[in-house]
Amino acid sequence: MASVAMNSSHLALASTTSGEHPNSCSTPLAPASQPQPTQWAPAPEKLHAIATLLRDSTSAYTNVQQQVYNQLQKYSTVRDFNNYLVYILAHGYNSPDAAYHSVDAVRQAAGLVLKNNIRLLYNSIHPHSRQYINSLLLAAIGDTSYQIRAVAATCISTIVDSMHTLASCSGLTTTLIHYMDSDRLTYIEGALTVLSALAEDVPLTLNHDVSRPLDVLIPKLIHLCAHPSETIRAKSVQILNHLLLGLPSALRDHVDVFIRTLFSIADDSSAQVRKRVCTSICLLTEAIPQSLAPYLTSVIEFMLASSSHSDELIAREACEFWILVARVQGGKDVLRSYLPRLVPIILDNMVYSKDEVALYNQLNKSDDTIPDTDEDIRPRFHQPRFVASGSNHDHPTMNGDIHSAAENGSQVGSLNANGTANGSNDSSTGGYDSDDDDGYESSDLEDFRDDSEWTLRKCSASAIDMFSHVFGDELLDHLLPRLESKVADETHWEQRECGVLALGAIAEGCYQGMLPALPRVASFLFGLTEDQHNMVRSIACWTLSRYSKWIINEKSRFEQLVDTLLKLTGDSNKLVQKAACSSLAMLAEESGTLIAPFLPPILGALSHAFSQYQKNNLIALYDVVCTLADAVGTELAVQEHMTVLMPLLTGQWNATSDNDSKMLSLLECLSHVFRALGMSSQQYAGNIFSRCTSIMDTIYNQEARGERDDNHIDFLTCCLDLMCALAEALGPNVDPFMSNNGNGGKPVLPLLFAGMKDRRQEVRQSAFALLGELARARTPSLIPALTEYVEGTVEALNPEYMSVSNNATWALGELVMMAGFLPPSVPINRDVIQRILVERALDSLIRVVNTPQLNRSLLENSALTLGRMGLVMSESMAPRLGQFAEAAFSQLRNIRDDIEKEQAFHGMNAMVRVNPTAIMKCFGNYLDAIGSWFHCKPDLEMEFASILHGYKQSLGDQWFSLFNSFSSPSQSLLKERFAL
């Protein structure tokens, strides 16, 4: 085992004044204009000790890593510690000690520690050290080692990210220009590595920096797209693709040159270059489709050829194009004449490849008794709770998307066009690749089962789905004849499977055209659920569930489908089991409460499955329970159903350890179940709160010791979301569980506050959802620190972090209502809370509500919170009413009738009474908002009537001219509803 040495008896040669160690690795000379290193020299004994630690940090032994971490922490207090790190990164350290067998590994370790220090502490690093760090990083990006160039580029990107300006890395743009103009490939590649990191990590800073670096860099990038080096060509196109996502003006100005350059390399010998050319065309189609108009015929012919290319990566990127064109205005007319050629290509791309067929043939067996290995269980990423506006608290639902079926007919969940998890609050452009593992391919069996991979098959199935929505029944003329030949192929199961997948893909878009054939199609699909091949049985399940809209209205078919799916949950093949669970979840989502009469046999089948399934498919069972709970709601709280379901879940709860990844799915499942059970969940609450707080406390203690795990973020968000679900279910009855959990649990509120301050957005998002629910329940435990909760929530009102800001905005509205309506005898600092709201929250909310391009839920929650603030402090809010009234009314009219909307309108009315002139310029918006009510309560209706009659009385003859300026619906509203 490697030892950890803090001090060494071996002294290196004396340092030189230039900062160059006699044993250093070769580092290329920087361009003459590059800033030269500040005069600093490392102390040999410190250099050796730190290099030894960095070497030992690569040890495979956890105890060694922990010792190294602790000692590096001690060194981090040394003022020039970061100088040593950048010195080792740039120059290396060749010790006579034979243990230094990998100099690059030590250099990389130094760079990674430096990057973390920059991210956390750059503002506190001495300016002289910053200059030294910058100069050596700029030299290191020209290093002969790709790994060193990459680490240096990451450090530079982190500096820019920390300071939000390119100027924070002095000489960066000049150095990049010199390197890009160099004849040395390592210089050019180093510059491109930095640009790639900047374009990916800090695109806004790069696009909007005051020095306008892209004005110079983009033409050079376009020029390098035709460089003799394949690596440089591919990397240049990739960086430009990154930049296309933000579409800086410099790229828009040179877009014609870029397009012509793309055509010049369209037939490149490099598959990576051709793939990225296809990606560029896709991004241009989405961002500035008009730029391709002069070249449209050539583009389509190129993409047709690329869609049938033998290289699957090229074909996949090309296939994205058809999805994007179909979305563009006028795209339907462009594509129509190409459908006879295009549909067969896309349909053939949906067939499993020969290698996949061979691999799936190996899986066509009874394997339900074979335990899953850890490698069999796919990573599962929890989607933190997102509070939609108007108390319409949307939860992730199961859906029968095309991508999951194209995966293997068995996976629930959805992917968008670029292969990221559905429900993600961030968006990106399909088909874009940001990885650097160019050319990596694997024939491993699991690659074909990895639902995170965006494949040609998935993309093609998605294209057929898109075409069905764009062309409707018109698509059937081109598709059905080919489908009939595929589904009739009794020799090749992969052809049958492809035909059934396509039938499912068109289920929504071509529904009307398929209606006459559905009785025959359904009978055929039911027959295929008994096919000899597991993949055909799997896809038949999925396609039947895609037509559940029709099936649930046919009683006998509905019963047949439920019976069939329940039977297949007991199939001897794991893939079919999972497909049946997925399809049952999709059926429950479509049918809603109509599936409630089938709960006894469904729960009976689930009970059997819980006792038989291996680890991986247990997760699919949890998904079924989630969707079933959402579908039937309070029906699940019937005692006979709880008697079956809850012992199954509590058994899993007791059998699953705190750090088991399966616990994540169980926590998420229980969130859905407890929302459905409502108050019936109270008997389980103590145990749930106790364990959730214990898990969170353990994680935060581990992280305080420097022990971090990739799963921590998911465990934290799942625990917060489960407690949030219980708070929603129990309402005011949740308060006793805030502190008295028993069973070793921890108090909830300190952990909630830690979640609010957590640097990870997902954790903060879930924390504010829980805070909002506790405030909505008027939980007394919040009262002693109510001011701190309000202040912490206001600090999170930053639309740059949309999901966090959305939940914080909603939670603030609930806190406002709680603080505003507490009895005067309750001791809270009302003046401080009001000052925080008026001086800090109000400006943020006004900015958001007046920015219509932001997320709809964030806009609506902002309008609701402004209205609720007006309800509790109308005198303070009214002077600013004119700054947000029009935007707030425009958002409030879109929200469904509920208590939050009612409170917001009472608040808006209160502010109008104080400052009636503020809404004169947007009176029509006020009337539209009033007209959005379907079931307005009498007291609110009386407020509207009083205010409107007051305007008529105060305006006198001017009322009639104002009345005539209103829209016809508004005039009808005033006449018929308010007798005006």
What pLDDT, in 10s, does the model give residues 916-926? Answer: 999 999 999 99
Domain assignment present for 113: yes
**683: nearest Cα among 747, 733, 751, 750:** 733
Do 868 and 907 reside in the same domain of the chain? yes
CA 318 to chain centre: 24
Domain co-membership, 749 together with 824: no
Query: What is the reported pLDDT for 19?
Result: 36
Tell me what pLDDT residue 878 has: 95
Mean pLDDT, the chain, integer: 85
Q: Give the pair of three-digit tokens for residue 633.
A: 């709601």
Q: Please name the residue that has the structure tokens 């270059």.
A: 273
Residue 213 has pLDDT above 50, yes or no: yes
Q: Tell whether 588 and 727 lie within a shared domain.
A: no
For residues 791 and 918, state if they share a domain: yes
Mean pLDDT of 112-123: 86
Tell me what pLDDT residue 660 has: 87
Q: Which of 216-225, 348-357, 397-406, 660-669 shows the lowest per-residue confidence on average (mean pLDDT)?
A: 397-406
- In this prediction, residue 438 carries a pLDDT of 36
Q: Are 322 and 303 in contact (CB under 8 A)?
A: yes
> What confidence category does residue 772 fall into, taking pLDDT thresholds of 50, 70 and 90?
very high
CATH number, domain with residue 539: 1.25.10.10
Tens digits of per-residue pLDDT, 522-537? 999 999 999 999 999 9
Range of the structural domain that residue 65 is part of: 41-211
Same domain, 48 and 180: yes
Confidence category of residue 401, pLDDT binned at 50, 70, 90: low
**pLDDT given at position 432:** 33
Q: Is residue 864 part of a domain?
A: yes
pLDDT of 441 reads 32
**Within a domain: 34:** no
Res 43 pLDDT > 50: yes
* 624 or 383: which leads in pLDDT: 624
Give the residue-averaged pLDDT of 228-241: 95
Co-location of 654 and 575 in the same domain: no
DSSP-derived secondary structure for 140-158: HTT-S-HHHHHHHHHHHHH
CA dihedral 101, 106, 107, 112 (to 10 degrees): 150
Q: How far apart are CA 72 and CA 67, in angstroms?
A: 9
Query: Which amino acid is residue 5, in one-letter code?
Result: A
User: Across 27-41, 48-62, 479-493, which has the greatest mean pLDDT?
Assistant: 479-493
Q: With helix as H, strand as E and coil as C, how does 225-275 read? A: CCCCCHHHHHHHHHHHHHHHHHCCHHHHHCHHHHHHHHHHCCCCCCHHHHH
Pair 100, 162 in one domain: yes
Given 884, 909, 926, the domain boundary residue is: 926
User: How far is it, in rounded angstroms, from Cα 383 to Cα 386?
Assistant: 8
Residue 355 has pLDDT above 60, yes or no: yes
Q: What is the structure's pLDDT at 6? A: 31
Spatial CA neighbour of 644 closest among 619, 662, 625: 625
Task: Read off the pLDDT of residues 435-470 as tens digits, 9 standing for 90 and up.
Answer: 333 332 333 323 323 445 788 999 999 999 999 999
pLDDT at residue 14, rounded to an integer: 26
| For the chain, percent of residues with pLDDT exceeding 90 | 64
Both 869 and 793 in one domain: the answer is yes
CB 387 within 8 A of CB 810: yes
Q: Which of 324-328, 413-417, 740-744 has the highest mean pLDDT?
A: 324-328
Q: How many helices (H) and strands (E) does the chain have?
A: 50, 0
Confidence of residue 753 (pLDDT cuts 50, 70, 90): very high
Asked if 60 and 202 sit in the same domain, the reply is yes
Rounded CA gap, 284 and 544, in Å?
Answer: 37
Q: Any alpha helices (H) in 529-614, and if so which ranges? A: 534-546, 548-551, 555-568, 574-591, 599-612
**Dihedral over Cα of 551, 557, 561, 562: its sign:** positive
Q: What is the pLDDT of residue 800?
A: 83
Domain annotation covers residue 193: yes
In a domain, 442, yes or no: no
- 738 vs 715: CA distance, rounded Å: 19
CA distances from 114 to 53, 223, 476, 696 (A): 14, 33, 59, 29
If one counts the domains in the chain, the total is 4
d(CA 555, CA 562): 11
Q: What is the pLDDT of residue 100?
A: 46
User: What is the mean predicted confidence (pLDDT) over 590-603?
Assistant: 95
Burial 642-658 (b: 16+ CB within 10 A, else e): beebbebbeebbeebee
Question: DSSP string of 353-378?
Answer: PHHHHHHHHHH-S--TTSPPPGGGS-
d(CA 207, CA 678): 50
- Evaluate whether residue 687 is within a structural domain: yes
**With 70 as the cut, is the pLDDT of residue 964 above it?**
yes
Strand partners, 421: 415
How far apart CA 372 and CA 570 sit, in angstroms, is: 17
Instruction: Report the range of poorest mean pLDDT among 241-255, 414-428, 443-457, 751-765.
Output: 414-428
- What's the rounded Cα separation, in Å, for the pair 262 and 267? 9
Q: At what angle do helices 456-471 and 493-505 cross, to 10 degrees?
A: 40
| CA atoms in the 13 A half-sphere facing the CB of 570 | 11
Question: What is each CA distance from 71 to 53, 316, 701, 954, in whole angstroms?
Answer: 8, 49, 19, 77
* Contacts of range 95-99, beta carbons closer than 8 Å, 24 or more positions apart: 95/10, 95/12, 95/23, 95/48, 95/51, 96/10, 97/10, 97/52, 99/2, 99/55
Measured in whole angstroms, the distance separating CA 765 from the mean position of its chain's CA atoms is: 12
Which residues partner with 288 through β-bridges? none
Specify the range with the lowest mean pLDDT, choosing from 101-105, 317-321, 619-623, 901-905: 101-105
Lowest-confidence segment of 36-50, 182-196, 230-244 by average pLDDT: 36-50
Predicted confidence at residue 2, as pLDDT, reads 36
* pLDDT at residue 426, rounded to an integer: 37
| SS3 label, residue 421 | strand
Residue 546: the pLDDT is: 95
Residue 616: predicted pLDDT: 84
Q: Give kind and range of the element (H or E) at residue 521.
A: helix 518-528
> Would you say residue 569 lies in a domain?
yes
HSE-up (13 A, CA, CB side) for residue 762: 18
Distance CA 528, CA 546 (A): 15
pLDDT of residue 148: 93
Sign of the alpha-carbon torsion through 23, 29, 32, 33: negative
**16-20, 514-518, 545-549, 933-937: which range is least confident on average?**
16-20
pLDDT of residue 362: 86
pLDDT category at 139 given cuts 50, 70, 90 is: very high
Q: Do both 768 and 794 map to the same domain?
A: no
Confidence (pLDDT) at 384: 67
Tokens representing 714? 């998911």
Q: Which two tokens stand for residue 914?
A: 């104080």
Is the alpha carbon torsion for 165, 167, 173, 175 positive or negative? negative
Q: What is the mean pLDDT of residues 712-733?
A: 95
Q: Give the end of a domain, one of 149, 182, 211.
A: 211
For the record, the structure tokens of 738 come out as: 């805030």
Confidence band (pLDDT; 50, 70, 90) for 16?
very low
SS3 call for 553:
coil
**End position of a domain, from candidates 612, 637, 662:** 637
CATH code of 851's domain: 1.25.10
Residue 102 and residue 164 in one domain: yes
Residue 183 identity = D
Same domain, 649 and 742: yes
Split at pLDDT 50, 70, 90, the class of 194 is very high
Euclidean distance between CA atoms 158 and 224, whole angstroms = 25
- What pLDDT score does 405 carry? 64
- Structure confidence at residue 376 (pLDDT): 55
In a domain, 544, yes or no: yes
Percentage of the chain exceeding pLDDT 70: 84
Q: In 123-154, which positions are buried (b, 16+ CB within 10 angstroms) versus exposed (e)? A: eebeeebbbbbbbbbbbbbbbebeebbbbbbb
**pLDDT at residue 414, rounded to an integer:** 27
C-beta of residue 778 within 8 angstroms of C-beta of residue 753: no
Average pLDDT over residues 478-506: 93
* Higher per-residue pLDDT: 10 or 170: 170
pLDDT given at position 408: 53
* Residue 84 CB-half CA count within 13 A: 24
Q: Own/partner pairs for 314-317, CB < 8 Å, 24+ apart?
A: 314/271, 314/274, 314/275, 314/278, 315/349, 315/456, 316/431, 316/454, 316/455, 316/456, 316/459, 317/275, 317/276, 317/278, 317/279, 317/282, 317/431
* Contacts (Cβ under 8 Å, ≥6 apart) of 526: 540, 544, 560, 564
pLDDT value at residue 434? 37
pLDDT given at position 871: 95
Top-ranked range on mean pLDDT: pick from 57-66, 381-390, 689-698, 964-973: 689-698
Q: Phi and psi of 444, rounded to 5°?
A: -60, 145
Per-residue pLDDT at 437: 37
